[in-house]
């Protein structure tokens, strides 16, 4: 394709090809401190829906090895979002080296805290707030569990902030580099934030999972221990490749839920959640 970009995010290499220059320029700018992969694991294509749509009301169709048939084309103005969505999708559906959990992840002293939950549970926001308080940011989207070692590998892609989380995250990290504000996407307003230098510099250093949290936003502060069997069921559902991983996935996940304590927490706001997380971390 006429415009190309490659990047390595943790252990995963991507190549993005595009019919247009703008999405590639945005990626190059935001990922400027990231390394290039030796050999990309996944290729993403941002293609014009029709040849004339490169110029007239440009509309992007996402292409790659792994696709969802219902993925709708996006306008060119959302090119960065299209690229990020496509990169996530390739990893989510095609990743086989790691058990992929839909979870945000931060670490302290080599020990990792995994935050998993539905979209809107506040994973990206909480990970950003914790990183602003000195935790190492590993990912706001995927925890990559190595089936051999049980360690979680960083995947510090751009942090995808949505709606109210945008202002909260910027208040926590006012110096953070940001992508353009994308207004009115299918997920509302979106703005990408570049992870901090610590996260990018340590993207090759895995951490040992030490605490699993299931946060839920919009409720009075509450906590409840989650037994291993419930954690197991929740995480099979939160994994994008558990079934495809077969035996390795089973072994990795049962080991994780037996070794790592888990808590469900309800929280009314970010500040309360941070206090809850710090308290649980101290007594884990």
Partner 1 sequence: MRYRAPDAAALLTAELDAFTAIFHRPSGITHLLASPAREILALLGEEPLDGDMLLARLADRYDVADATRDALAARLDELVVAGLVEPL
- Sequence length of the chain is 284
Q: How many CB atoms lie within 10 A of CB 256?
A: 23
Question: Closest CB to partner 1 among 49 and 251?
Answer: 251
Contacts 24+ apart (CB under 8 A), 38-42: 38/13, 39/13, 40/6, 40/13, 40/14, 40/15, 41/12, 41/13, 41/14, 41/90, 41/91, 41/94, 41/95, 42/12, 42/13, 42/14, 42/15, 42/66, 42/87, 42/90, 42/91, 42/94
Closer residue to partner 1 (CB): 187 or 250: 250
150 binds partner 1 (CB under 8 A): no
Smallest distance, partner 1 to C-beta of residue 254, A = 4
Task: Please identify, using beta-carbon distances, which residue of 161 and 262 lies nearer to partner 1.
Answer: 262
Query: Interaction with partner 1 in 186-205: which residues (CB under 8 A)?
Result: none
Size of the site for partner 1 (CB under 8 A): 15
Q: Between 114 and 131, whose beta carbon lies closer to partner 1?
A: 114
- Nearest distance from C-beta of residue 19 to partner 1, angstroms: 39
Distance CA 34, CA 24 (A): 14
Write down the least CB distance from residue 257 to partner 1, Å: 7
Q: Which residue, 149 or 254, has its beta carbon nearer to partner 1?
A: 254
Residue 135 backbone zone (phi > 0: left; psi -120 to 50: alpha; other: beta): beta
Look at phi and psi of residue 273 and say left if phi exceeds 0, alpha if psi is from -120 to 50, else beta.
Answer: alpha
Report, in Å, the least distance between residue 203 CB and partner 1: 31
Q: How far apart are CA 211 and CA 85, in angstroms?
A: 28
| Residue 190 burial (10 A CB sphere; 0-12, 13-18, 19+) | buried
> Which parts of 220-259 interact with partner 1 (CB under 8 A)?
227-229, 232-233, 236, 242-243, 246-247, 250-251, 254, 257-258
CB of 43 to partner 1, least distance (A): 28
Q: Minimal distance in Å, beta carbon 226 to partner 1? A: 10
Cα–Cα distance between 55 and 26 in angstroms, integer? 19
Nearer to partner 1, 32 or 258 (CB): 258
Tell the smallest beta-carbon distance from residue 227 to partner 1 (Å).
5
Residue 246 CB, nearest distance to partner 1 (Å)? Answer: 5
| Measured CA distances, 182 to 25, 70, 78, 92, 252 (Å) | 16, 21, 7, 23, 37
Residue 259 to residues 88, 186, 210, 212, Cα–Cα distance (Å): 28, 38, 8, 10
Closer residue to partner 1, CB minimum distance, 198 or 248 = 248
Per-residue string for binding with partner 1, 99-118, x by CB under 8 A? --------------------
**Residue with Cβ nearer partner 1 (135 or 242):** 242
Binding-site ranges for partner 1 (CB under 8 A): 227-229, 232-233, 236, 242-243, 246-247, 250-251, 254, 257-258
């Amino acid at each position: 394709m006429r415009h190309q970009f490659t990047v390595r995010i943790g252990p995963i290499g991507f190549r993005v090809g595009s019919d247009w220059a703008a999405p590639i320029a945005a990626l190059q700018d935001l990922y400027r401190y990231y390394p290039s992969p030796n050999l990309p694991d996944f290729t993403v294509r941002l293609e014009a829906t029709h040849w004339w749509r490169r110029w007239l009301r440009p509309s992007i169709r996402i292409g790659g090895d792994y696709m969802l048939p219902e993925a709708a084309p996006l306008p060119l103005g959302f090119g960065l979002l299209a690229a990020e969505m496509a990169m996530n999708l390739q990893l989510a559906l095609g990743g086989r080296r790691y058990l992929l959990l839909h979870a945000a992840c931060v670490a302290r002293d080599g020990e990792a805290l995994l935050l998993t939950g539905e979209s809107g549970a506040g994973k990206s926001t909480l990970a950003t707030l914790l990183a602003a308080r000195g935790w190492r940011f590993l990912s706001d989207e995927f925890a990559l569990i190595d089936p051999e070692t049980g360690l979680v590998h960083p995947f510090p892609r751009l942090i995808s902030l949505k709606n109210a989380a945008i202002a909260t995250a910027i208040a926590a990290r006012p110096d953070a580099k940001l992508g353009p504000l994308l207004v009115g996407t299918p997920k509302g307003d979106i703005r990408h934030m570049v992870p901090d230098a610590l996260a990018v510099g340590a993207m090759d250093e895995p951490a040992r999972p030490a605490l699993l949290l299931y946060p839920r936003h919009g409720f009075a502060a509450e906590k409840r221990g989650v037994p291993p069997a419930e954690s197991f069921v929740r995480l099979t559902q939160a994994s994008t490749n558990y079934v495809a991983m077969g035996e390795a996935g089973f072994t990795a996940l049962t080991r994780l839920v037996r070794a790592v304590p888990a808590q469900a927490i309800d929280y009314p706001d970010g500040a309360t959640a941070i206090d809850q997380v710090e308290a649980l971390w101290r007594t884990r």
